Structure 1
Amino acid sequence: MNPVTSADESPLSGVDLRALPKISLHDHLDGGVRPATIIELGEANGVDVPVSDPDGLADWFYTQCNAGSLVEYLKTFDLSIAVMQTEEGLVRIAREFVQDLAADGVIYGEVRWAPEQHLTRGLSLDAVVEAVQEGIELGIKDAAHAGSDIQIGQLVTAMRHADRGLEIAELAVRHRERGVVGFDIAGAEAGFPASKQRLAFDYLAAELFPVTVHAGEADGIESIRSALLDGRALRLGHGVRIAEDIFIERDDAESLYATLGPVAEWVRDRKIPLELSPQSNLQTGAIAAWGEELEDHPFDLLYQLDFAVTVNVDNRTMSDTSLTKELALLSEAFDYDLTDLETFQLNAAAATFQPLEIREALADRISEAFDEFLDDDED
């Protein structure tokens, strides 16, 4: 059994979190479209938008997404996806996405999205991937001109309820030398385990192509097990419900101990990264078994038990968030200090779908920057 201790009581104060280097692993392209861009592209493409001013539309998204259900949460994507059906729209949105990441202090990001959802105006699967890559490269140039050095990779996603997994997997591998770094499945989780996309995952394994799987968000341990066994997942998208396989006991001295079930032990011992998204997990009801406030999130329990936790936004627009905001909220909830935040970023750097040399270089950038902040704090 593993002792459960309290978090270090050293809250952050006076630290510019936005300036800290960050890694973004779980960030949906269609979940991070600027409200102003949705309005402009909606007018240009005949898409009805429920609110005509950016601030009002941002509030609409946030309100709609707080239903406590992943299914209801996902319905808001109908609007953002509707304005992402042309080459021009995809290029612009991908470009702005990278600009927003760079402005948030992100030095490496993996942007996930489902090409099969962007074909209603005649574009091919390959064309939409190329359009997004063009926007990414323009955004990287924009960031460089603004003094930011950022790297971006695409995670091509298949919708788990559709029957196109193998086709989308082949698409991802086709573009592995042109910006695509990994594969994902997303969408309504319950009833659609990774095993239903087994052909796709067999193909990806044969091609030695990295995989992350949405699992442990709207379904429990068996979904995570399927992601690991059938999907050969190197990371778990969200994965928060791995906490269902952790059992807390209190001994005679009133000390708390945690016993890990077999799936949790496998994930912990093999350092399979958890792509945790705190605010999104609240909005979708993923942590309803533990409570309704951020302080109830199992994030800290998983961190204390030495799981490879990472911090992510999931959907910036829907959750009205950023990595800076997520880190600030976690720090407030659990009294995390700079050393804790550095650990989260180093976990994420090690989890990127990049060669070892790049992962080590990212870790060095993070450590050097955090050391400077810590030195300044001591002064």
Structure 2
Amino acid sequence: MNITIVAGARPNFMKIAPIIEAIQNKKKEGFNINYRLVHTGQHYDKNLSGTFFEELNIPLPDSNLEVKSGTQAEQTAAIMIGFENELMVNKCDLVMVVGDVTSTMACTIVAKKAGIKVAHVEAGIRSGDMDMPEEINRIVTDSLTDYFFTTSTYANKNLSALGVPESKVFFVGNVMIDTLLKNKSRLAKPSLWDDLNLSEKKYMVMTLHRPSNVDEEQQLKKLITQIVTLGKDYPIIFPVHPRTKKLLSNLNLNFDNLYYVNPLGYLEFNYLVKNALAVITDSGGITEETTVMNVPCITLRDSTERPETCDIGTNILVGSDPEKIKNAFNILLSGTWKQGVTPQLWDGNTAKRIVHHLVSI
């Protein structure tokens, strides 16, 4: 079996690392399974993609489509053209896509039109928010997928409601947690730790990148001002996404406890998360990591495709509602944040289960 694995953006790399390792181990056992890694280049900043290959011991990609940035349509089209050429030259039996980024959807469409079966890792998750490009990517991808690898029973139910046969759905757990658990002992203290005189549970981490939060200047200013004011007794570390950096340069938001830093590598960022009092974010993946690390997480979104992080994890949704944000900070600073539980099968063995099913298929 020859598998083409697609990665395009930062979250993808965390997910493919353990899958590649599991494939390599299966091959050593004598199974006829090979992979080819295609990097679409959707994330092209070194801190957003390149360092992940080094940190997570991922082999360099066999092909890099180097699509870089553009509008949704431009980026999708560039990925599709590049990936079509890739598949014409390098035949495979299966295309594996992960997550819900533009590359996930675009490469799924190309593969299916080329008559190649598709396996989707993280299939079936839904936020219900059609204003999110990721939700559209999920819906399109799952409408074409042949084999669905799911992270939760919520995802299984979503697929069942769509009429997906149970025989095509494999509840395997969360592959991103495989990477987290494997690297937990390797998490690295960033230089800013000593530079800012940080100490365990005495600071917060904030990440923002969703268009609904960062694309309108006054909304972004209002959001950051409230968060920094509520957390005034704590340093707030803000690794700034490239798209957010452009907006911030016009806002002149300077607070004594707010520290803008460049995007961090996987090991350094998760060291900060693990030791933080709390994380304020609009990312879906970070809510999974904070749940496993039992770190309070305040999510600046009205919906989530990962409801397990709220129902049994450490995550609370507040959207951009000032009262909900204030209430979440009150709970946090009073020391009464809920205790989380790790969801089923988030145990570090997801990739092994995926590859076991692949060779069975």
TM-score by length of 2: 0.31
TM-score by length of 1: 0.30
Structure ranking higher on relative contact order (CA contacts 8 Å, 6+ apart): 1
